[in-house]
Amino acid sequence: MEPADFAVRAGQWLRGPGPDSDVVLSTRIRLARNVEGYAFPNRIEAGARSALEERLRQWIEAAGMGEAHYCNLSEVDPLMQQMLMERHLISRELLQGEGDRGVTFASTELISIMTNEEDHVRIQVIQAGQTLQAALGQAIDLDRRLEAQIPYAYSDTYGYLTACPTNVGTGLRISVMVHLPALVFMDQMDKVFQAASKVGLTVRGFYGEGTKAVGDVIQISNQQTLGRTETEILETLANIIPKIVEYERGVRTHLVNEQRVSLEDRVWRAMGALRYARKMASEETLNHLSAIRLGVNLQLLAGLNMSEVNELFVITQPAHLQALKGRELGPDDRDVARANLLRERFKPESN
Amino acid sequence: MEPADFAVRAGQWLRGPGPDSDVVLSTRIRLARNVEGYAFPNRIEAGARSALEERLRQWIEAAGMGEAHYCNLSEVDPLMQQMLMERHLISRELLQGEGDRGVTFASTELISIMTNEEDHVRIQVIQAGQTLQAALGQAIDLDRRLEAQIPYAYSDTYGYLTACPTNVGTGLRISVMVHLPALVFMDQMDKVFQAASKVGLTVRGFYGEGTKAVGDVIQISNQQTLGRTETEILETLANIIPKIVEYERGVRTHLVNEQRVSLEDRVWRAMGALRYARKMASEETLNHLSAIRLGVNLQLLAGLNMSEVNELFVITQPAHLQALKGRELGPDDRDVARANLLRERFKPESN
């Protein structure tokens, strides 16, 4: 797999439409599993880790994932590593780890399995839009197929054993990525943070770091699984997400009806910057793309393809840009390359 | 004169090209004069002020100014008053004054005479570009024609007598308005301020308030006239202005050669905002127009008429906007009207 080919388009979860996709970008399920008889990755010896990585690869292949790719992180170059992270296929922890560790991901990128991350096995299912039940169902199905191959570390008392106690039990984390430009515009995000934390949910940014809503996108997820069933975790999310969606939609309607000029100003200034800037940093880009997404959703902008707009959230990131240009670029050159790409994508003729 | 008709286009000094007009917007000469036998305006009684205002009007008419208009400020509505100030035809002091006071200005707006401002007579000649000698010559010529009519208050010891001691002698102030976007961009304005203050010159903004270079435009002028001849004052300016012009040009060349992308980014982002914003405050507008002027001068932008760009510095001001719309507008509505006007003027089709 050539970096440039890989960089051209983002995964299906970001491109595809999905339920409530005006607000919900994606639903992500993560299951943490470990293999009986091996030390957790933070304790394992290099030799055992290598052997396990190889066995896991075979087990995963045997479980059947359709058309899929495997990367051993210790063997791929840093650019490809970072692209995998920008693509949400691997975690920062796997990227920054050492020794044999890898990821197997379906060509659709809707499924990925990290090996030798914090746990031996991290199953990820990520779908476009709000698909809590369906995504969880798919993750459980994949988990069962893997369980038929892999001797999981399991305790009748505690459930699945994990490297970090907070994940013990189901090993389940559900993350819903939501786009809340109207709530950010009206300075209402505190209410979302409070509502989420009240029911034990965590809020993070698009790439997980901190809680800063760069691009007006946040991920809402359960903090721990210990002592809670899959159904309980699912219900917490299933309960709050529709409320946040309705809240965002309500404020969008308010903006259209009561503050139309300010709204159009925000959307069209973003378009102006995307069409004309000669250099643009990553964070500024995400904020403009957010406004464009909002404009398309509210039909203030015509002729734009939403999946292409979504995709730009990922392919304007540093490693993707460098892969597209076919060479390493310093921060200044990336800002120029990013602006060039955006100018091309948003040029007036193409609308 | 209808406000709407008056608002459509700015004075010739701003529209017309002139020497060094890539950097120098205008050269302005002011002469302060008073009439023998009348108290200074800040001391004069209302009756005497009215009588003097009427006599001055006749004297000025007799001196001959070609096609000209007279406004008694106490009779024109506030919108027209403010437009006269935005047009640089009257001072803030005349606007905020009380009682009979006025302005007579040539239809070209290259000459104006304020009456009963701080002094009884304030002659103003304003020309496009750097025209120190020519503008001073024209002012002196007009002054002589007025002196043939008006018994000026004059002392053989001190020269022309004025309300404020700093103006005694020649009553001359020379102001050169310069556009220094490259120096602002490269954070070099301190050097200009220092160089000016070292030779006793003052630096103010486009509309005189403070020294903030809104729109990257500053006015450089002599602080006082007492004890100095016209020639000495002229030479101080004639000495420093070409240096500032060359400094600005040098930095522009540097930007084109060494920082072209940053320069284009600045210019094109301004264009993006002007073409797409739905509301825009006055100060932001001046800053974008500054970038556009720079872009036209450096041939980064084609198809734009410089005199129309310059004119926008004035006709996007609050009173002009309201006159163009034909009604009073609050600040928010002005921001919308301003953005509409700018969008129309900068729409891509017209380039």
d(CA A136, CA A230): 9
Confidence at A208, pLDDT banded by 50, 70, 90: low
Confidence at A351, pLDDT banded by 50, 70, 90: very low
pLDDT of residue B209: 58
A330 to chain B, any CB pair closer than 8 A? The answer is no
Above 70 in pLDDT, residue A20?
yes
Contact A265 B279 (CB under 8 A): yes
**Closest approach of chain A CAs to the CA of B207, in angstroms?**
28
Contact B265 A278 (CB under 8 A): yes
Q: Is B301 helix (H, G, I), strand (E, B) or coil?
A: coil
CB-closest option in B261, B268, B336 to A336 = B261
Residue in chain A lying closest to B280 (CA): A265
Please enumerate in sequence order all residues whose Cβ is within 8 A of that of B106, keeping only pairs 6 or more positions apart, or say none: B65, B66, B67, B68, B112
Please enumerate in sequence order all residues whose Cβ is within 8 A of that of B105, keeping only pairs 6 or more positions apart, or say none: B68, B69, B89, B111, B112, B113
Contact A279 B261 (CB under 8 A): yes
Mean pLDDT in chain A?
A: 93
Above 90 in pLDDT, residue A44?
yes
CA distances to A24, A217, A249 from A243, in Å: 12, 16, 10
Helix ranges restricted to H, B187-315: 189-198, 230-258, 260-276, 282-297, 306-315
Diameter over CA atoms, chain B: 65
Asked whether B178 and B218 are in contact (CB, 8 A), the reply is yes
d(CA A51, CA A99): 11
A351 to chain B, any CB pair closer than 8 A? The answer is no
Asked whether A251 and A182 are in contact (CB, 8 A), the reply is yes
Asked whether B119 and B32 are in contact (CB, 8 A), the reply is yes
A300 to chain B, any CB pair closer than 8 A? The answer is no
Contact A262 B278 (CB under 8 A): yes
Q: Is B178 helix (H, G, I), strand (E, B) or coil?
A: strand
Q: pLDDT, tens digit, for every residue of A119-134?
A: 999 999 999 999 999 9
Contact A262 B276 (CB under 8 A): no
d(CA B269, CA B266): 5
Asked whether A341 and A309 are in contact (CB, 8 A), the reply is no
DSSP B349: G
Closest CA to A314 of A145, A89, A164, A45: A89
Reported as type and span, the H/E element at residue B125 is strand B121-128
Helix ranges restricted to H, B87-150: 92-96, 132-147
Residue B264 with chain A: CB contacts under 8 Å? 278
Residue labelled with tokens 């919900």: A24
Task: Enumerate residues 265 to 294 of chain A having a beta carbon within 8 A of any beta carbon in chain B.
Answer: 265, 268-269, 271-273, 275-279
B325 to chain A, any CB pair closer than 8 A? The answer is no
pLDDT of residue B351: 42
CB-closest option in B268, B273, B336 to A278 = B268
Interface test with A, best of B262, B278, B298, B333 (most A CBs within 10 A): B278
Q: pLDDT, tens digit, for every residue of A60-86?
A: 999 988 899 999 999 999 999 999 999
pLDDT of residue B240: 96
pLDDT of residue B350: 44
CB-closest option in A264, A276, A336 to B272 = A276
pLDDT of residue A348: 83
Residue B170 in tokens: 């020649």
- CA-based radius of gyration for chain A: 21
**Closest approach of chain B CAs to the CA of A181, in angstroms?**
18
CATH fold of A3-247 reads Creatine Kinase; Chain A, domain 2 (3.30.590)
**Closest approach of chain A CAs to the CA of B238, in angstroms?**
39
Residue A340 with chain B: CB contacts under 8 Å? none
Residue A283 in tokens: 């964070």
pLDDT of residue A88: 93
d(CA B290, CA A160): 65
d(CA A178, CA A170): 24
**Closest approach of chain A CAs to the CA of B249, in angstroms?**
23
Share of chain A above pLDDT 90, in %: 86
Burial class (CB in 10 A: 0-12, 13-18, 19+), B207: middle
Contact B269 A277 (CB under 8 A): yes
Residue A348 with chain B: CB contacts under 8 Å? 348
Contact A278 B272 (CB under 8 A): no
Dihedral of alpha carbons B40, B41, B46, B48, sign: positive
Contact A265 B339 (CB under 8 A): yes
pLDDT of residue A24: 97
Residue in chain B lying closest to A268 (CA): B276
The two beta strands, A102-106 and A111-115, are antiparallel
Asked whether B293 and B266 are in contact (CB, 8 A), the reply is no
Contact A268 B277 (CB under 8 A): yes
Q: Is B175 helix (H, G, I), strand (E, B) or coil?
A: strand
CB-closest option in B271, B276, B336 to A269 = B276
B339 to chain A, any CB pair closer than 8 A? The answer is yes
d(CA A57, CA A72): 10
pLDDT of residue A17: 86
Q: Is A212 helix (H, G, I), strand (E, B) or coil?
A: coil
Residue in chain B lying closest to A280 (CA): B265
CA distances to A12, A122, A180 from A125, in Å: 12, 10, 23
Residue A25 in tokens: 């970008």
Separation of first and last alpha carbons in chain B? 32
Contact A277 B272 (CB under 8 A): yes
Above 60 in pLDDT, residue A266?
yes
DSSP B230: H
**Closest approach of chain B CAs to the CA of A280, in angstroms?**
9
Residue in chain A lying closest to B272 (CA): A272
Residue A271 with chain B: CB contacts under 8 Å? 272, 276
- What is the residue-level pLDDT of chain B in tens, covering all 351 positions? 778 888 887 788 888 789 999 999 999 999 999 999 999 999 999 999 999 999 999 999 999 888 999 999 999 999 999 999 999 999 999 999 999 999 999 999 999 999 999 999 999 999 999 999 999 999 999 999 999 999 999 999 999 999 999 899 999 999 999 999 999 999 999 999 999 999 999 998 876 656 567 889 999 999 878 788 999 999 999 999 999 999 999 999 999 999 999 999 999 999 999 999 999 999 999 999 999 999 999 999 988 999 999 999 999 999 999 999 999 999 999 999 999 999 999 998 644
Confidence at A211, pLDDT banded by 50, 70, 90: low
Residue B277 with chain A: CB contacts under 8 Å? 265, 268-269, 272
Return the domain boundaries, chain A.
3-247, 258-346
Q: pLDDT, tens digit, for every residue of A93-109?
A: 999 999 999 999 999 99
Torsion, Cα of B43, B47, B48, B52 (10° steps)? 120
Q: Would you report the helix, strand and coil content of chain B in percent, each value rounded to 5?
A: 50, 15, 35
d(CA B222, CA B202): 6
CB-closest option in B271, B277, B279 to A276 = B271
